[in-house]
Structure 1
Amino acid sequence: MFNNGIDFEEAFAPVARIETIRLILALSAILNWKVFHMDVKAAFLHGELKESVYMKQPEGYEKKRAESKLYKLSKALYGLRQAPRAWNLKLDAVLKGLGFKRCQHEEALYVKSKEGSLLIVGVYVDDLLVTGSDVVEVEFFKQ
């Protein structure tokens, strides 16, 4: 897809709806589970780009005698339209690799059940809402 110098397919990243966040909090309150808010620092820098993206050299960091050259990005950057989507795809793969299943009705909700315990993760861009029935599992996830 190429449009007016913009060459990417999707910039959308799913986020948990407010109703889902309220449900997670209500369920946690009823079952007396601890709830953790995790802000993933530099989240977008973990996203891997599917397309080739080039950028001008940042002001003050130009290479001598190569000022007109561009940098090819290997990872997403903040401010890049594709960054949230790239981060979400990476997070989705990691969570699924840890045994989580994504809810078919809410793409930003992941659940992992293991031997009678339940671990729930809600995603809102680079923030995670984490709760569960097994404190050890929650702590392991946080690490």
Structure 2
Amino acid sequence: MDAKIESIEKNDTWELTYLPWGQKIIDVQWVFKTKLNEKGEIDKHKARLVAKGYKQELDTIRLVVSIATQNSWPIFQLDVKSTFPHGDLQEQVYIEQPSGYVKQGNEEKVYRLNKALHILKQAPRAWYSLVDAYFTK
């Protein structure tokens, strides 16, 4: 969790502020995953901060894996740290301070996102815009 918060802050993903009148706040939660190596042994433990309420099924990935399997195509996995937090947001999005990382003396404040968090409905669009601009350039 410390590594994830450090990465988020290093990437200027958010700024602490008061919630503007009329704006809604999005709750966040920690999601934990244990990554295994090829021998089935624990390789590492990962923590991800996600916006609550946006559960997305990865139908596209399932479809691509299915097609690759049917055609005996090789499949490679790439684990990129902090992918979505690099995509800039066009909208104003406010989230609660994450559990375990509430700033003392600023408990009433929220974070205004500058960049997308995982599972935020704006995250894929923000990431795609960044990648598209890079390849277009």
Task: Give TM class, smaller chain.
Answer: 0.3 to 0.5
Q: TM-score normalized by structure 2?
A: 0.44
Q: TM-score normalized by structure 1?
A: 0.42
User: In proportion to residue count, which structure has more strand?
Assistant: 2
